[in-house]
């Protein structure tokens, strides 16, 4: 298979950083349909990133649930996603988490600082840059940091062996040649020489951090200032939110990875076990996991479950939002069916008239891009008009009854 440039904006045929193009296939059918990224491991290895990072990024960007099984090397994304779309999304991952913003070189290593920031350390130019903390994947990486390499791997990385200088030779090759030996001792010396070259490039004459560590007594003290206490409280809240997010992902993955959609009782019990049965987010997950092209029938099939968990108008809004996301991300062909979907929800007493009116008259980008939201709202207009007409007829009937009295 021909390889492609990691940085696809670089059209140089002799660009030395290559990766295999994504291979994927669609599996399953109905509301269990999913996309299997067949060579996710090979792609991630070429980018020098853990495979789950790549798959999770796909999930965040496509608004889809993901299922990761590292032992079987099976990586699934809920819904149908063509290869071109996945490759375009991967370009975003490469730009944000792989390429150095300074030199556009992919020889970067992700690291987490003591204060909880994600950094890219470029082994080519020495630039250290922070990854945008607003990206959803950053939260996942902070929760699941990259595994630390062993000593040998660290030495290999420190030599910047992928850098090409002097006719295709790396820094470690040149250092080894200068030592004139192929023994283990010579190799260690070569590594030290290469580290000195990197240190000089960074403008530092001090020993590497691994060799010179200075710990001050006051570093062991706990900052009890008001600002520090508030910061620790915010960090604790952030960890709690991350834990909650993982529960929803587990819930969605559990539904999608069953041989067939579980019964309403089993789904409700699973939500109880995860302690999310009363959460609005649970309703959104259900809307995206239970419904697909046959949504009208599926609403009827799961009316019992939905009526049990739709306990407030906010939960009803979340149901509409989840359906909107399902349509906008995976099933735009359902847009003309929006009036019938709303009628089904209305007739089954799952969503009230007031909630539907409020939803139908407010454009938001909370669940889908704004333009997609506008399309769905325009499609809903016939049903909203029907509600208005029905309301006027009721008023007329009441007036006639008053006149008769």
Tell me: do 177 and 250 sit in the same domain. Answer: no
- Whether 196 is in a domain gets the answer yes
Least confident of 171-180, 320-329, 374-383: 171-180
pLDDT band at 173 (very low <50, low <70, confident <90, very high): very low
pLDDT attached to residue 405: 54
Tell me: do 256 and 386 sit in the same domain. Answer: yes
Mean pLDDT of the 193-202 span: 48
Tell me: do 195 and 252 sit in the same domain. Answer: no
Q: What is the mean pLDDT of the chain?
A: 79
- Whether 348 is in a domain gets the answer yes
Residue recorded with tokens 């604790």? 236
pLDDT attached to residue 378: 94
For the cut 60, the answer to whether the pLDDT of residue 10 exceeds it is yes
Tell me: do 254 and 396 sit in the same domain. Answer: yes
Tell me: do 263 and 396 sit in the same domain. Answer: yes
For the cut 90, the answer to whether the pLDDT of residue 212 exceeds it is no
Least confident of 53-57, 210-214, 373-377, 392-396: 210-214
Least confident of 8-17, 165-174, 391-400: 165-174
Tell me: do 11 and 91 sit in the same domain. Answer: yes
- Whether 123 is in a domain gets the answer no
Tell me: do 167 and 80 sit in the same domain. Answer: no
- Whether 223 is in a domain gets the answer no
pLDDT attached to residue 336: 94
Tell me: do 255 and 386 sit in the same domain. Answer: yes
Q: Six-digit token pair at 112?
A: 């987490």
| CATH number, domain with residue 304 | 1.25.40.180
- Whether 150 is in a domain gets the answer no
Tell me: do 86 and 175 sit in the same domain. Answer: no
Q: What is the pTM of this model?
A: 0.43
Close Cβ partners of 307 (under 8 Å, ≥ 6 residues apart): 348, 349, 350
- Whether 256 is in a domain gets the answer yes
- Whether 229 is in a domain gets the answer no
Cβ atoms of 108 and 93 closer than 8 Å: no
Of 70, 90, 105, which closes a domain? 105
Tell me: do 54 and 196 sit in the same domain. Answer: no
pLDDT attached to residue 258: 84
Classified as helix, coil or strand, 125 is coil
Q: For 25-44, what is each residue's pLDDT tens digit?
A: 999 887 789 999 999 999 99
Q: For 234-288, what is each residue's pLDDT tens digit?
A: 655 544 444 567 888 888 889 988 888 899 999 999 999 988 989 999 999 999 9
3-state secondary structure 208-239: CCCCCCCCCHHHHCCCCCHHHHHHHHHHHHHH
Tell me: do 179 and 295 sit in the same domain. Answer: no
- Whether 146 is in a domain gets the answer no
| CATH number, domain with residue 68 | 3.30.30.170
pLDDT attached to residue 224: 59
Given CA atoms 188, 194, 123, 13 in this order, what sign does their dihedral have? negative
Of 65, 80, 105, which closes a domain? 105
Tell me: do 297 and 382 sit in the same domain. Answer: yes
| Domain count within the chain | 3
pLDDT attached to residue 149: 53
Stronger pLDDT, 334 or 177, i.e. the higher one: 334
pLDDT attached to residue 296: 92
Q: For 125-159, what is each residue's pLDDT tens digit?
A: 889 999 999 999 999 999 999 876 544 444 333 33
Residue span of the structural domain in which 47 resides: 4-105
CA 218 to chain centre: 39
pLDDT attached to residue 396: 54
């Amino acid at each position: 298979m021909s390889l492609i440039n990691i940085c696809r904006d670089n059209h140089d045929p002799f660009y030395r950083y290559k990766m295999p193009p994504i291979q994927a296939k669609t599996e399953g059918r109905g509301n269990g349909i999913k996309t299997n990224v067949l060579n996710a491991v090979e792609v991630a290895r070429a980018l020098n990133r853990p495979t789950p990072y790549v798959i999770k990024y796909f999930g965040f960007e496509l608004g889809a649930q993901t299922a990761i099984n590292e032992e079987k090397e099976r990586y699934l994304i809920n819904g149908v996603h063509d290869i071109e779309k996945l490759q375009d999304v991967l370009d975003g991952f490469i730009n944000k988490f792989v390429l150095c913003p300074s030199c556009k070189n992919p020889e970067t290593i992700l690291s987490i600082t003591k204060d909880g920031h994600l950094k890219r350390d470029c082994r080519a130019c020495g630039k250290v840059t922070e990854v945008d903390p607003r990206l959803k994947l950053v939260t996942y990486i902070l929760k699941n940091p990259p595994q630390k390499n062993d000593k040998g791997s660290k030495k290999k990385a420190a030599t910047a062996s992928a850098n090409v200088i002097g006719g295709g030779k790396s820094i470690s090759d040149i250092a080894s040649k200068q030592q004139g030996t192929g023994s283990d001792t010579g190799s260690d010396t070569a590594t030290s020489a290469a580290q000195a070259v990197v240190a000089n490039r960074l403008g530092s004459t001090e020993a590497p951090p691994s060799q010179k560590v200075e710990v001050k007594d006051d570093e062991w003290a706990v900052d009890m200032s008001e600002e520090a206490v508030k910061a620790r409280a915010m960090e604790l809240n952030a960890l709690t939110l991350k834990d909650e997010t993982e529960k929803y992902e587990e819930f969605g993955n559990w539904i999608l990875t069953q041989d067939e959609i579980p019964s309403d009782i089993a789904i409700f019990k699973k939500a109880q076990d995860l302690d999310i049965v009363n959460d609005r987010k649970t309703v959104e997950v259900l809307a995206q996991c239970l419904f697909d092209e046959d949504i009208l029938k599926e609403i009827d099939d799961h009316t019992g479950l939905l009526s049990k968990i739709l306990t407030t108008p906010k939960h009803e809004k979340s149901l509409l939002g989840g359906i909107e996301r399902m349509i906008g991300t995976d099933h735009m062909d359902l847009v003309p069916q929006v009036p019938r979907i709303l009628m089904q929800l209305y007739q089954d007493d799952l969503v009230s008239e007031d909630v539907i009116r409020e939803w139908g008259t407010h454009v938001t980008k909370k669940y889908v891009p704004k333009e997609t939201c506008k399309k769905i709202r325009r499609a809903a207009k016939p049903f909203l008009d029907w509600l208005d007409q029905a309301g006027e007829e009721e008023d007329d009937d009441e007036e006639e009854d008053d006149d008769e009295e």
